[in-house]
Amino acid sequence: MNQTFDEKLRDALWTAHSLFERGKTSGSSANMSFFHDGRIYISASGSCFGTMGEEDFTPVYMDGSAAGLRKPSKEWPLHLELYRKSPHIGAVIHTHSTYSVLWSFVPCETEQDCIPAHTPYLKMKLGTVGLIPYEKPGSEALFSALRERISLSDGYLLKNHGPVVPGKTIMDAFYSLEELEESARIAWELYRAGLA
């Protein structure tokens, strides 16, 4: 389904507000983007998912140059790398959700797929989740770390930082992000109970 710009923006705003209202983001700690007509529309630097409006998205060209009046999120290169990975990616969401961050501290068997498949739904919605080593948020070292591992997984968990999830649309990315966080919660609770 080809969505109009207004439909993509509507879904992005609904998603931002939903995530904030349910405690999946706080302050200005998250960012999201969608692709439209050759540009990435990404949440502006310092914007808050809870109060996000139409004016809080700023366009960035695929060569990385900003096209809007507002400064894009400092982590826009994470988004750019994912859009470059596949023409099927139409949106990206990055949060600092609690259980995903907690799980990023637990040693994993394989960094190409770091969240156990205790339920089938994460694999069905997203696929594999690669663990990206810790680097300072917004740094070139972080962008390079993602770039080196981007082809190995479908979604990503930045160590000590949070998930980065692509999708065909904002809603697709949102559903995958929700499943990733729920899977991380289940894995964390089983790990704490000594059952996994």
Count CB atoms within 10 A of the CB of residue 179. Answer: 20
- State pLDDT tens for residues 95-148: 999 999 999 999 998 999 999 999 999 999 999 999 999 999 999 999 999 999
The whole-number average pLDDT for the span 166-181 is 98
User: What pLDDT is attached to residue 116?
Assistant: 94
Judged against a pLDDT cut of 90, whether residue 33 lies above it is answered with yes
Judged against a pLDDT cut of 90, whether residue 67 lies above it is answered with no
User: What pLDDT is attached to residue 64?
Assistant: 87
Position 71, amino acid: K
- Distance between CA atoms of residues 160 and 103, nearest Å: 9
The whole-number average pLDDT for the span 186-190 is 96
- State pLDDT tens for residues 83-95: 999 999 999 999 9
- Distance between CA atoms of residues 189 and 175, nearest Å: 21
The percentage of residues in the chain with a pLDDT greater than 90, rounded to a whole number, is 93
User: What pLDDT is attached to residue 68?
Assistant: 78
Q: pLDDT-based confidence at 48, cuts 50/70/90? A: very high
Judged against a pLDDT cut of 90, whether residue 69 lies above it is answered with no
User: What pLDDT is attached to residue 59?
Assistant: 95
Question: Across-strand partners of 36?
Answer: 39
- DSSP label at residue 72: B
- Distance between CA atoms of residues 16 and 42, nearest Å: 12
- Distance between CA atoms of residues 95 and 53, nearest Å: 18
The whole-number average pLDDT for the span 163-172 is 98
User: What pLDDT is attached to residue 1?
Assistant: 65
Query: Catalytic residues, which ones?
Result: 75, 121
- Identify the architecture of domain 5-192 in CATH: 3-Layer(aba) Sandwich (3.40)
Count CB atoms within 10 A of the CB of residue 123. Answer: 16
**Domain boundaries, given as residue ranges, for the chain:** 5-192
